[in-house]
Amino acid sequence: MKPQNWVNPLRDERDKRLPRIAGPCGLVIFGVTGDLSRKKLMPAVYDLANRGLLPPGFSLVGFARRDWADQDFGQQVHDAVREHARTPFKESVWARLAEGLRFVPGSFDDDEAFARLAKTVAALDEERGTGGNHAFYLSIPPAAFPTVTQQLAEHGLAGGDQPPNVWRRVVIEKPFGHDLASARELNRVVNAVFEEESVFRIDHYLGKETVQNILALRFANQLFEPIWNANYVDHVQITMAEDIGLAGRAGYYDGIGAARDVIQNHLLQLLAFTAMEEPLSFEPSQLRAEKVKVLRATKAVGPFDQTTARGQYAGGWQGGVKVRGLLEEEGFAPDSTTETYAAVTLAVQNRRWAGVPFYLRTGKRLGRRVTEIAVIFKRAPHLPFDHTATEELGQNALVIRVQPDEGVTLRFGSKVPGSTMEVRDVTMDFGYGHAFTESSPEAYERLILDVLLGEPSLFPANEEVELSWQILDPVLEHWARSGKPEPYAPGSWGPPSADAILARSGRHWRRP
């Protein structure tokens, strides 16, 4: 028998010799037949098992409207894992994971199905020692959140009267509402069943190594922080571009659009990491406190017809292929005003950032798939060169490449070899691919493991979600009153009005 207060020193979360492994637990996925579950969630669970990060009795329960037995579900998980897992397939790992797979057929309004789910979960505690600890992943249409959370509460699955060391957690996917009012309502519904500390909102960007590295870059080095402010920074550009269109995604996207889909969550989180003050520690509450502070200081700058842009991709040629415009894509109304490109100008109203514009842009069917944060520095106040010597010299820039080709680039001027003094831009590059031998885990691996460990640092809290809507709502209201988005050519970098935003102050968008 272990003494009551015996602590396993190898379970110290700061000990780097052994990775942290989740304690006894299970995961229940709603919407297990969906795209996200097949491509990301089930493969991530396998990858975690393969890395030895799941507890021995780990169990995965699928809930869906299918007439499946446990083995049919097993086959679905198997196929998803074979197709999408990051790590190699190993029969021995699969066989162990497969022992813990269960399936519960039913729809969200079916009381009996939830009663069966409660029995299944209780049986897992008995048979596999999951210890009453279960996370419920709602990979389902947001309209179904209230029904499912309510059902979980009514069938005793949401916890409440559990012993203190037993947990129940809920994981929800974006979109967290479509404006401030609906986000508040959603938070109210979810928090009525699960306390805020048991709610894990997924912003999969925060699971990316490159995003967490912003904190290392800024706060572990002496080099950058002294110039990370309005004295030296001219402006910041945060870009998330995709080169694909929206074929087959009308159901999710129509009526939502680029700003709600990407700026409200991913890009504002990137802004928060880039602009926040140093947290007292990386304890979750301290990190959140700084993010909340900076989001509270952030405002959309007007007049919006000059400082924002929205577009819709037109039909045409992209990469030698003829592609449809949004309005011809299946499922979109021919007069849809859903934007596929959005750009906004934000100000962070504090001493560090006064006067430094933050330009955020995102779009579909743009020149290439890339996400990056570019911190563009001011020009040197005096250049003791002949002006012809510096004609080719741009502004210094630090570019954090979030994806693909993850890394950091520093751009600065250098003398061109030769007998004349000529200064031109060069770059210095850090790439994860050549600096580290270990490949980065998928964002969903990190985030699912964090849910099971109860580690909330990388999940936006309800206050952050509401503040992000507060920043974006005035722009969305302006757009709702302003007719249609402007068309742009596929493969381009957005509509002309986007270029005009920066051109007014003599700036221009970076070509990533």
Q: Of 47, 59, 85, 173, which lies in the binding site for ligand NAP, with binding defined by CB under 6 A? A: 173
Q: Which is nearer to ligand NAP, 144 or 453 (CB)?
A: 144
CA 73 to chain CA centroid, Å, is 28
Residues assigned a catalytic role? 266
CA distance 72 to 457: 36
In the complex, least distance from residue 35 CB atom to ligand NAP, rounded to whole angstroms: 4
Cβ atoms of 105 and 113 within 8 Å: the answer is yes
In the complex, least distance from residue 242 CB atom to ligand NAP, rounded to whole angstroms: 12
Among positions 93-112, residues that touch ligand NAP (CB under 6 A) are: 107-108
How many binding residues for ligand NAP (CB under 6 A)? 19
How many CB atoms lie under 10 A from the CB of residue 303? 8
Cβ atoms of 61 and 28 within 8 Å: the answer is yes
Q: Which is nearer to ligand NAP, 33 or 337 (CB)?
A: 33
Q: In the numeric block, which tokens belong to residue 61?
A: 């329960």
Q: Binding segment for ligand NAP among 33-41, 89-97, 263-271, 385-393 (CB under 6 A)? A: 33-41
If binding is defined by CB under 6 A, does position 142 make contact with ligand NAP?
Answer: yes
CA distance 442 to 21: 17
Among positions 50-89, residues that touch ligand NAP (CB under 6 A) are: 64-65
* First and final C-alpha spacing in the chain: 61
How far is CA 340 from each of CA 61, 325, 326, rounded to the nearest angstrom?
36, 10, 8
Q: Of 98, 144, 166, 453, which lies in the binding site for ligand NAP, with binding defined by CB under 6 A? A: 144
If binding is defined by CB under 6 A, does position 369 make contact with ligand NAP?
Answer: no
If binding is defined by CB under 6 A, does position 174 make contact with ligand NAP?
Answer: yes
Q: Of 52, 141, 248, 302, which lies in the binding site for ligand NAP, with binding defined by CB under 6 A? A: 141
If binding is defined by CB under 6 A, does position 248 make contact with ligand NAP?
Answer: no
If binding is defined by CB under 6 A, does position 36 make contact with ligand NAP?
Answer: yes
The H or E element containing residue 81 is helix 70-84
Residue 504 DSSP code: T
Sequence-distant (6+) residues with CB within 8 A of 343 are: 308, 309, 310, 359, 360, 361, 362, 494, 498, 501
Q: Which is nearer to ligand NAP, 248 or 433 (CB)?
A: 248
Q: Which is nearer to ligand NAP, 63 or 304 (CB)?
A: 63
The residues that touch ligand NAP, with contacts defined as CB under 6 A, are 31-37, 64-65, 107-108, 139-142, 144, 173-174, 252
